[in-house]
């Protein structure tokens, strides 16, 4: 999602998140040139509301996670994402369009989609199958095993068939149960497959009032606000007066926003002309001036470095979600119909999950939403705010921005579902009796989760490049 305003995407309209004054020099980066490090002045020491520090994350991500997640995202299971880009904005009428042709999303042709992703594939061969599929298969098996003659002879025969009406009821129950756990609004229609590798997230020229309204509505109307906060912006100095859960909400959205800005700056349209046919469609690369515009203290009312630090917070939250869901994700088949690649995908996902589980200082979600009925009310508000943000993605006036916005919000919402639904908390007693009603992620959720985490990982990796460019 590449959404920005001509007035500087965050500008001084959205100022938030204060950080600990304690500073610890980074061992991972050379920090001799303080003048050129102004954008990075907050990227030292501990990460707020977390117990680890920035340079630990830098080293862990850039050395261990980034190479693995990049190789994982080119696998067919993760490169094809089903999305509906034709939903109308539910909040306002917006006919804005992109300024350049790079906003267009190229959908998949049917022959491009792996066979295993087409249509309704029977899931009874997979670990995380739908119980209704089990019942249907069992009923068919029983029909073959027991003839009418057998039925008459066997007084102890138990009819295990279930009527189609009951199946429909079960499906409605399942949809209702799943909806209670979801932090994103589920799309009413599935849309069409998009090849994410052919539609990379990068600068599109989408800006102005339309883009500004997206972020203004996210922050001003769908985030928790400090008391006595001015109407048109949120001050960093007042965030720490809020409770942990409300601070977490701000920092997660801010970190995602910072990550998106870094993607725009690192894959900026440097020239619309082809590079002697070598780079068809224009030249793309890092734009240091744009990066400084979005994150330097002078351009952002001293808030840009804070926004960068929030990126690390969002990264740690999604990292923890992956670690928590690892027992579930390790059981997935990652089925596309290509046996060789599916096996490689399973090996790759298990490898990166083992690395993630080895991280020494994960985000601790267990300290949130503890306090009886008031905590439950806050959790419901937290969820409703995030659902509204997922709806706002349908108001984005650029198709490619909308694609990546919906995917990254979907991935972040899946991480929140894993952390706070309560259904991924107790693994040991249930692993031998796996229950889909307790533990279930749709394929689209897994694809969005891994891709969204990959975007955060790449943002932290790109920060090192910008730091070196500034020097």
Annotated binding residues for FAD, written as ranges, equal 202, 204, 215, 254, 257, 294
Can you tell me the distance from the alpha carbon of 47 to that of 316, in angstroms, rounded to the nearest whole number?
Answer: 9
How many helices (H) and strands (E) would you count in the chain? 15, 4
What distance in Å separates the CA atoms of residue 122 and residue 63, rounded to the nearest whole number? 39
Which residues have a Cβ under 8 Å from the Cβ of 67 and sit 6 or more positions away? Answer: none
Taking alpha carbons only, the member of 326, 430, 415, 439 closest to residue 365 is 415
The pair phi, psi for residue 285, each rounded to 5°, is 180, -175
**Does residue 108 have an active-site annotation?**
no
Torsion, Cα 87 91 97 99, to 10 degrees, reads -120
DSSP label at residue 187: P
End-to-end CA distance of the chain: 29
**What's the Rg (C-alpha) of the chain?**
24
Structure tokens at 33: 């040139």
Q: Are 309 and 54 in contact (CB under 8 A)?
A: yes
Catalytic pick among 108, 223, 395, 398: 398
Q: Residues annotated as binding site?
A: 202, 204, 215, 254, 257, 294
- CB-based contacts of 110: which residues, under 8 Å, 6+ apart? 118
C-alpha span between 128 and 445 (Å, rounded): 14
401 a catalytic residue: yes
How far apart are the C-alpha atoms of 383 and 395, rounded to whole Å? 20
* Residue 48 zone, left/alpha/beta (φ > 0; ψ -120 to 50; rest): beta
Q: Which two tokens stand for residue 303?
A: 């808030």
Give the residue numbers marked as catalytic. 398, 401
């Amino acid at each position: 999602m590449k959404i920005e305003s001509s007035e500087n995407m965050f500008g001084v309209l959205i100022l938030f998140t204060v950080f600990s004054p304690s500073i610890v020099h980074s061992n991972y980066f050379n920090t001799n040139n303080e003048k050129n490090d102004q954008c990075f002045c907050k990227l030292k020491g501990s990460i707020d509301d977390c117990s680890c520090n920035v340079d630990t994350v830098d080293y862990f991500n850039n050395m261990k996670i980034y190479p693995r997640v990049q190789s994982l995202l080119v696998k067919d299971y993760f490169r094809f994402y089903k999305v509906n880009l034709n939903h109308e904005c539910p909040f306002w009428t917006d006919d804005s369009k992109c300024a350049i042709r790079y906003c267009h999303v190229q959908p998949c042709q049917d022959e491009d989609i792996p066979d295993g992703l087409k249509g309704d594939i029977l899931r009874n061969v997979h670990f995380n199958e739908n119980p209704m599929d089990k019942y249907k298969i069992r009923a068919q098996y029983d029909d073959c095993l027991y003839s009418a003659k057998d039925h008459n002879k066997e007084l102890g025969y138990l009819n295990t068939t279930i009527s189609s009406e009951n199946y429909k009821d079960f499906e409605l129950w399942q949809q209702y149960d799943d909806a209670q756990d979801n932090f994103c609004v589920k799309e009413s229609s599935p849309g069409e497959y998009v090849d994410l590798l052919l539609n990379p997230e990068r600068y599109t020229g989408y800006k102005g009032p339309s883009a500004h309204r997206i972020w203004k509505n996210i922050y001003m109307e769908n985030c928790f606000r400090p008391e006595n906060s001015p109407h048109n912006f949120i001050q960093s100095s007042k965030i720490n007066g809020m409770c942990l859960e409300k601070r977490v909400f701000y920092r997660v959205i801010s970190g995602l926003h910072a990550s998106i800005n870094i993607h725009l700056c690192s894959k900026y349209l440097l020239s619309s002309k082809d590079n002697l046919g070598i780079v068809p469609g224009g030249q793309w690369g890092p734009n240091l001036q744009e990066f400084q515009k979005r994150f330097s203290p002078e351009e952002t009312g001293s808030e840009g470095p804070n926004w960068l630090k929030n990126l690390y917070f969002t990264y740690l939250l999604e990292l923890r979600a992956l670690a928590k869901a690892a027992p579930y994700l390790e059981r997935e088949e990652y089925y596309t119909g290509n046996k060789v690649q599916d096996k490689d995908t399973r090996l790759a996902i298990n490898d990166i999950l083992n690395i993630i589980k080895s991280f020494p200082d994960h985000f601790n979600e267990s300290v949130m939403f503890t306090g009886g009925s008031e905590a439950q009310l806050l959790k419901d508000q937290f969820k409703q705010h995030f659902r509204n943000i997922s709806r706002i993605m349908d108001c984005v006036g650029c198709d490619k921005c909308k694609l990546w916005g919906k995917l990254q919000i979907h991935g972040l919402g899946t991480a929140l579902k894993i952390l706070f639904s309560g259904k991924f908390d107790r693994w040991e007693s249930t692993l031998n009796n796996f229950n889909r009603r307790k533990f279930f992620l749709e394929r689209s959720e897994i694809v969005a989760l891994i891709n969204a985490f990959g975007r955060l990982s790449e943002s932290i990796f790109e920060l090192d490049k910008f730091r070196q460019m500034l020097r």
